[in-house]
Amino acid sequence: RQSGAQTRESLRRMIASSELAFAMEAHDGLSAAIAERAGFKALWASGLSISSSLGYRDANEASWSQLVDVVERISDTVDIPVLVDGDSGFGNFNNARLVARKLRQHGASGICLEDTAFPKMNSFIGDRHPLADIPEFCGRLKAVKDQVPDAEFVLVARIEALIAGRGEDEALARAQAYAEAGADAILIHSRKSNAEQIFAFTRAWQNRLPVVIVPTKYYRTPVSAYRAAGISTVIWANHNMRAAISAMRQVCDRILREESIAGIEDEVATLDELFDLLNYQELSAAEEKYLPQT
Ligand code: SPV
Ligand code: MG
Protein backbone atom coordinates (compact mmCIF):
# COMPACT_ATOMS: atom_id res chain seq x y z
CA ARG A 1 0.00 0.00 0.00
CA GLN A 2 1.06 3.58 -0.61
CA SER A 3 1.91 5.75 2.39
CA GLY A 4 -0.53 8.51 3.25
CA ALA A 5 1.99 11.11 2.10
CA GLN A 6 2.36 9.41 -1.31
CA THR A 7 -1.39 9.18 -1.75
CA ARG A 8 -1.83 12.86 -0.85
CA GLU A 9 0.97 13.82 -3.20
CA SER A 10 -0.76 12.02 -6.05
CA LEU A 11 -3.95 14.07 -5.52
CA ARG A 12 -1.90 17.25 -5.42
CA ARG A 13 -0.16 16.36 -8.68
CA MET A 14 -3.44 15.40 -10.29
CA ILE A 15 -5.09 18.70 -9.40
CA ALA A 16 -2.06 20.78 -10.37
CA SER A 17 -1.50 18.99 -13.68
CA SER A 18 -2.75 20.49 -16.92
CA GLU A 19 -3.94 17.05 -18.02
CA LEU A 20 -7.66 16.58 -17.39
CA ALA A 21 -8.30 14.14 -14.52
CA PHE A 22 -11.41 12.50 -13.10
CA ALA A 23 -12.59 11.78 -9.58
CA MET A 24 -15.37 9.24 -9.06
CA GLU A 25 -17.91 9.45 -6.29
CA ALA A 26 -17.72 6.96 -3.41
CA HIS A 27 -19.86 6.86 -0.30
CA ASP A 28 -18.65 3.75 1.52
CA GLY A 29 -15.90 1.15 1.38
CA LEU A 30 -17.66 -0.96 -1.23
CA SER A 31 -18.40 1.82 -3.71
CA ALA A 32 -14.79 3.01 -3.26
CA ALA A 33 -13.45 -0.47 -4.03
CA ILE A 34 -15.62 -0.70 -7.15
CA ALA A 35 -14.45 2.69 -8.45
CA GLU A 36 -10.81 1.83 -7.81
CA ARG A 37 -11.18 -1.56 -9.50
CA ALA A 38 -12.77 0.16 -12.51
CA GLY A 39 -9.60 2.20 -12.90
CA PHE A 40 -10.35 5.60 -11.38
CA LYS A 41 -7.27 7.36 -10.03
CA ALA A 42 -9.06 9.42 -7.39
CA LEU A 43 -12.30 9.46 -5.42
CA TRP A 44 -14.77 12.16 -4.43
CA ALA A 45 -16.28 11.45 -1.01
CA SER A 46 -19.55 13.15 -1.85
CA GLY A 47 -21.59 14.77 0.90
CA LEU A 48 -24.80 14.12 -1.02
CA SER A 49 -23.99 10.45 -1.56
CA ILE A 50 -22.65 9.80 1.94
CA SER A 51 -25.60 11.48 3.63
CA SER A 52 -28.03 9.63 1.31
CA SER A 53 -26.43 6.28 2.09
CA LEU A 54 -26.84 7.06 5.81
CA GLY A 55 -30.49 7.98 5.25
CA TYR A 56 -29.92 11.70 5.82
CA ARG A 57 -30.58 14.75 3.67
CA ASP A 58 -27.69 16.73 2.22
CA ALA A 59 -28.28 19.57 4.65
CA ASN A 60 -25.66 18.86 7.33
CA GLU A 61 -27.94 16.37 9.03
CA ALA A 62 -25.03 13.94 9.26
CA SER A 63 -22.42 15.08 11.77
CA TRP A 64 -18.77 15.75 10.98
CA SER A 65 -17.75 12.70 12.97
CA GLN A 66 -20.09 10.52 10.89
CA LEU A 67 -18.40 11.93 7.78
CA VAL A 68 -14.96 11.15 9.24
CA ASP A 69 -16.05 7.56 9.97
CA VAL A 70 -17.20 7.04 6.39
CA VAL A 71 -14.03 8.59 4.98
CA GLU A 72 -11.97 6.27 7.15
CA ARG A 73 -13.84 3.26 5.69
CA ILE A 74 -13.26 4.59 2.16
CA SER A 75 -9.57 5.31 2.57
CA ASP A 76 -8.92 2.02 4.38
CA THR A 77 -10.45 0.17 1.44
CA VAL A 78 -8.52 1.78 -1.42
CA ASP A 79 -5.05 3.01 -2.32
CA ILE A 80 -6.13 5.95 -4.46
CA PRO A 81 -6.52 9.45 -3.00
CA VAL A 82 -9.82 10.70 -1.61
CA LEU A 83 -10.92 14.31 -1.97
CA VAL A 84 -13.54 14.85 0.70
CA ASP A 85 -16.59 17.08 0.37
CA GLY A 86 -16.33 19.03 3.62
CA ASP A 87 -19.50 21.02 2.88
CA SER A 88 -19.13 24.49 4.39
CA GLY A 89 -16.82 23.23 7.14
CA PHE A 90 -19.50 22.50 9.75
CA GLY A 91 -19.39 26.00 11.22
CA ASN A 92 -16.81 28.74 11.38
CA PHE A 93 -13.01 28.66 10.93
CA ASN A 94 -12.63 26.60 14.09
CA ASN A 95 -14.99 23.82 13.02
CA ALA A 96 -13.50 23.83 9.50
CA ARG A 97 -9.94 23.38 10.72
CA LEU A 98 -10.98 20.64 13.16
CA VAL A 99 -12.82 18.71 10.43
CA ALA A 100 -9.86 19.08 8.04
CA ARG A 101 -7.44 17.77 10.66
CA LYS A 102 -9.64 14.81 11.54
CA LEU A 103 -10.22 13.97 7.87
CA ARG A 104 -6.51 14.04 7.19
CA GLN A 105 -5.84 11.81 10.22
CA HIS A 106 -8.38 9.33 8.89
CA GLY A 107 -6.97 9.08 5.39
CA ALA A 108 -8.30 11.99 3.31
CA SER A 109 -5.90 13.47 0.75
CA GLY A 110 -7.73 16.75 0.52
CA ILE A 111 -10.85 18.66 1.49
CA CYS A 112 -13.24 20.82 -0.48
CA LEU A 113 -14.95 23.66 1.39
CA GLU A 114 -17.87 25.61 -0.05
CA ASP A 115 -18.58 29.26 0.65
CA THR A 116 -22.03 28.81 2.17
CA ALA A 117 -23.41 29.05 5.67
CA PHE A 118 -23.99 26.21 8.14
CA PRO A 119 -26.23 24.30 7.75
CA LYS A 120 -25.70 23.97 4.02
CA MET A 121 -28.34 22.85 1.56
CA ASN A 122 -27.63 20.76 -1.54
CA SER A 123 -26.95 23.07 -4.48
CA PHE A 124 -29.74 21.57 -6.60
CA ILE A 125 -32.52 22.11 -4.05
CA GLY A 126 -34.56 25.29 -3.83
CA ASP A 127 -33.39 28.86 -4.05
CA ARG A 128 -32.10 29.55 -0.55
CA HIS A 129 -28.33 29.43 -0.83
CA PRO A 130 -27.00 32.20 1.40
CA LEU A 131 -23.31 32.78 0.73
CA ALA A 132 -20.67 33.30 3.37
CA ASP A 133 -19.06 36.74 3.44
CA ILE A 134 -15.77 36.66 1.57
CA PRO A 135 -13.47 37.63 4.49
CA GLU A 136 -15.15 35.15 6.83
CA PHE A 137 -14.80 32.31 4.33
CA CYS A 138 -11.17 33.27 3.68
CA GLY A 139 -10.64 32.85 7.43
CA ARG A 140 -11.96 29.29 7.16
CA LEU A 141 -9.52 28.55 4.31
CA LYS A 142 -6.56 30.10 6.13
CA ALA A 143 -7.37 28.24 9.33
CA VAL A 144 -7.41 24.93 7.45
CA LYS A 145 -4.06 25.73 5.82
CA ASP A 146 -2.53 26.63 9.19
CA GLN A 147 -4.00 23.60 10.95
CA VAL A 148 -2.98 21.10 8.25
CA PRO A 149 0.30 22.57 7.07
CA ASP A 150 1.61 19.60 5.11
CA ALA A 151 2.19 20.68 1.56
CA GLU A 152 0.53 17.64 0.00
CA PHE A 153 -2.90 18.01 1.65
CA VAL A 154 -5.13 19.65 -0.94
CA LEU A 155 -7.55 22.46 -0.13
CA VAL A 156 -10.20 23.13 -2.76
CA ALA A 157 -12.31 26.28 -2.38
CA ARG A 158 -15.77 25.85 -3.85
CA ILE A 159 -17.67 28.84 -5.14
CA GLU A 160 -21.46 28.79 -4.91
CA ALA A 161 -22.00 32.28 -6.34
CA LEU A 162 -23.48 30.98 -9.61
CA ILE A 163 -25.76 28.60 -7.68
CA ALA A 164 -26.91 31.57 -5.58
CA GLY A 165 -27.61 33.60 -8.73
CA ARG A 166 -24.92 36.19 -8.02
CA GLY A 167 -23.23 36.09 -11.41
CA GLU A 168 -19.78 35.85 -12.86
CA ASP A 169 -18.20 38.99 -11.39
CA GLU A 170 -19.00 37.81 -7.90
CA ALA A 171 -17.64 34.34 -8.70
CA LEU A 172 -14.39 35.81 -10.03
CA ALA A 173 -13.95 38.12 -7.05
CA ARG A 174 -14.42 35.15 -4.74
CA ALA A 175 -11.98 32.99 -6.70
CA GLN A 176 -9.33 35.70 -6.46
CA ALA A 177 -9.87 36.13 -2.73
CA TYR A 178 -9.75 32.37 -2.10
CA ALA A 179 -6.55 32.05 -4.14
CA GLU A 180 -4.99 34.76 -1.99
CA ALA A 181 -6.21 32.98 1.16
CA GLY A 182 -4.22 29.89 0.18
CA ALA A 183 -6.61 27.56 -1.69
CA ASP A 184 -4.91 25.07 -4.01
CA ALA A 185 -7.76 24.90 -6.52
CA ILE A 186 -11.14 26.47 -7.24
CA LEU A 187 -14.30 24.43 -7.68
CA ILE A 188 -16.80 26.44 -9.67
CA HIS A 189 -20.30 25.02 -9.43
CA SER A 190 -23.31 25.55 -11.71
CA ARG A 191 -26.81 24.10 -11.82
CA LYS A 192 -27.46 25.05 -15.45
CA SER A 193 -28.07 22.30 -17.99
CA ASN A 194 -25.27 23.58 -20.23
CA ALA A 195 -21.69 24.53 -19.40
CA GLU A 196 -21.78 28.16 -20.64
CA GLN A 197 -21.45 29.62 -17.13
CA ILE A 198 -18.48 27.36 -16.50
CA PHE A 199 -16.70 28.31 -19.72
CA ALA A 200 -17.35 32.02 -19.18
CA PHE A 201 -15.71 31.63 -15.78
CA THR A 202 -12.70 29.67 -17.07
CA ARG A 203 -12.14 32.18 -19.91
CA ALA A 204 -11.99 35.03 -17.43
CA TRP A 205 -10.14 33.15 -14.71
CA GLN A 206 -7.28 32.02 -16.95
CA ASN A 207 -6.26 29.20 -14.61
CA ARG A 208 -4.85 31.48 -11.93
CA LEU A 209 -5.49 28.35 -9.85
CA PRO A 210 -6.54 24.96 -11.24
CA VAL A 211 -10.29 24.60 -11.80
CA VAL A 212 -12.43 21.66 -10.69
CA ILE A 213 -16.00 21.12 -11.95
CA VAL A 214 -19.02 18.96 -11.12
CA PRO A 215 -21.04 18.50 -14.34
CA THR A 216 -24.01 16.73 -12.73
CA LYS A 217 -26.55 19.01 -14.45
CA TYR A 218 -24.61 19.82 -17.66
CA TYR A 219 -23.84 16.18 -18.30
CA ARG A 220 -24.10 16.38 -22.10
CA THR A 221 -20.97 18.49 -22.56
CA PRO A 222 -18.15 16.27 -23.88
CA VAL A 223 -14.99 16.17 -21.81
CA SER A 224 -13.01 17.35 -24.85
CA ALA A 225 -14.54 20.78 -24.17
CA TYR A 226 -13.17 20.69 -20.62
CA ARG A 227 -9.72 19.80 -21.94
CA ALA A 228 -9.92 22.71 -24.35
CA ALA A 229 -10.94 25.01 -21.50
CA GLY A 230 -7.91 23.95 -19.42
CA ILE A 231 -10.01 22.46 -16.63
CA SER A 232 -7.98 20.38 -14.18
CA THR A 233 -10.41 17.87 -12.73
CA VAL A 234 -13.93 16.64 -13.38
CA ILE A 235 -15.89 15.14 -10.49
CA TRP A 236 -18.53 12.51 -11.33
CA ALA A 237 -20.26 13.39 -8.12
CA ASN A 238 -23.09 10.99 -7.32
CA HIS A 239 -23.30 8.24 -9.91
CA ASN A 240 -22.34 5.25 -7.77
CA MET A 241 -25.05 6.23 -5.30
CA ARG A 242 -27.66 6.79 -8.04
CA ALA A 243 -26.70 3.52 -9.74
CA ALA A 244 -27.20 1.75 -6.41
CA ILE A 245 -30.66 3.30 -6.03
CA SER A 246 -31.89 2.09 -9.41
CA ALA A 247 -30.31 -1.37 -9.06
CA MET A 248 -31.69 -1.87 -5.54
CA ARG A 249 -35.13 -0.57 -6.50
CA GLN A 250 -35.33 -2.99 -9.45
CA VAL A 251 -34.22 -5.96 -7.41
CA CYS A 252 -36.64 -5.15 -4.57
CA ASP A 253 -39.55 -4.74 -7.00
CA ARG A 254 -38.85 -8.05 -8.70
CA ILE A 255 -38.29 -10.13 -5.57
CA LEU A 256 -41.46 -8.72 -4.05
CA ARG A 257 -43.47 -9.36 -7.20
CA GLU A 258 -42.02 -12.75 -8.13
CA GLU A 259 -41.71 -14.07 -4.58
CA SER A 260 -38.49 -15.63 -5.81
CA ILE A 261 -34.84 -14.76 -6.25
CA ALA A 262 -34.40 -17.15 -9.19
CA GLY A 263 -35.20 -14.52 -11.83
CA ILE A 264 -32.65 -11.96 -10.67
CA GLU A 265 -29.74 -14.30 -9.93
CA ASP A 266 -28.07 -13.54 -13.26
CA GLU A 267 -28.59 -9.81 -12.85
CA VAL A 268 -26.91 -9.28 -9.49
CA ALA A 269 -23.19 -9.43 -8.76
CA THR A 270 -21.99 -12.89 -7.84
CA LEU A 271 -20.74 -13.55 -4.35
CA ASP A 272 -17.39 -14.46 -5.93
CA GLU A 273 -17.19 -10.95 -7.34
CA LEU A 274 -17.81 -9.53 -3.88
CA PHE A 275 -15.21 -11.81 -2.28
CA ASP A 276 -12.71 -10.76 -4.94
CA LEU A 277 -13.44 -7.04 -4.48
CA LEU A 278 -12.75 -7.22 -0.78
CA ASN A 279 -9.77 -9.57 -1.15
CA TYR A 280 -10.95 -12.59 0.82
CA GLN A 281 -8.10 -14.46 -0.85
CA GLU A 282 -5.62 -12.48 1.26
CA LEU A 283 -7.40 -13.66 4.40
CA SER A 284 -7.10 -17.32 3.35
CA ALA A 285 -3.39 -16.82 2.76
CA ALA A 286 -3.03 -15.11 6.15
CA GLU A 287 -4.85 -17.97 7.85
CA GLU A 288 -2.34 -20.40 6.37
CA LYS A 289 0.44 -18.26 7.73
CA TYR A 290 -0.84 -17.37 11.19
CA LEU A 291 -3.32 -20.04 12.32
CA PRO A 292 -1.91 -23.24 13.78
CA GLN A 293 -2.13 -25.81 10.98
CA THR A 294 -3.87 -29.01 12.06
C1 SPV B 1 -21.74 16.40 -3.52
O2 SPV B 1 -21.51 15.43 -4.27
O3 SPV B 1 -22.15 16.28 -2.37
C4 SPV B 1 -21.55 17.74 -4.01
C5 SPV B 1 -21.83 18.04 -5.39
O6 SPV B 1 -21.25 18.60 -3.22
S7 SPV B 1 -23.42 18.65 -5.51
O8 SPV B 1 -24.34 17.62 -5.07
O9 SPV B 1 -23.53 18.96 -6.91
O10 SPV B 1 -23.55 19.84 -4.70
MG1 MG C 1 -21.81 18.18 -1.33
What pLDDT digit, counting tens, does each position of 64-75 carry? 999 999 999 999
Give the integer Cα–Cα distance in Å for 245 and 242. Answer: 5
* pLDDT in single tens digits along all 294 residues of the chain: 778 889 989 999 999 998 999 999 999 999 999 999 999 999 999 999 999 999 999 999 999 999 999 999 999 999 999 999 999 999 999 999 999 999 999 999 999 999 999 999 999 998 889 999 999 999 999 999 999 988 899 999 999 999 999 999 999 999 999 999 999 999 999 999 999 999 999 999 999 999 999 999 999 999 999 999 999 999 999 999 999 999 999 999 999 999 999 999 999 999 999 999 999 999 999 999 999 987
Q: At 5, phi and psi to the nearest 5?
A: -65, -40
Q: What is the pLDDT, as a whole number, of residue 110?
A: 98
Check pocket membership of 240 for ligand 1, CB cut-off 6 A: no
Q: What is the pLDDT, as a whole number, of residue 4?
A: 85
Check pocket membership of 235 for ligand 1, CB cut-off 6 A: no
Q: What is the pLDDT, as a whole number, of residue 195?
A: 98
The residue type at 2: Q
Provide the strand spans (E) within 118-241. Answer: 154-159, 185-188, 211-213, 233-236
Dump pLDDT digits (tens) for 207-221.
Answer: 999 999 999 999 999
Q: What is the pLDDT, as a whole number, of residue 1?
A: 76
Record the pTM: 0.97
Ligand nearest to the CA of residue 237, numbered in listed order: 1
Q: What is the pLDDT, as a whole number, of residue 94?
A: 98
Q: What is the pLDDT, as a whole number, of residue 264?
A: 97
Distance of CA 289 to the CA centre of its chain: 38
Q: What is the pLDDT, as a whole number, of residue 246?
A: 98
- Ligand 2 centroid to residue 46 C-alpha, Å: 6
- Ligand 1 centroid to residue 216 C-alpha, Å: 8
Q: Residues with catalytic annotation?
A: 58
Q: What is the pLDDT, as a whole number, of residue 137?
A: 98
Between helix 29-38 and helix 64-77 the angle, nearest 10°, is 40
Give the integer Cα–Cα distance in Å for 109 and 2. Answer: 12
Beta bridge partners of 3: none
- Ligand 1 centroid to residue 189 C-alpha, Å: 9
Ligand 1, pocket-test mutation among 50, 238, 239, most atoms within 8 A of CB: 238
Q: Is the ipTM of this complex over 0.95?
A: yes
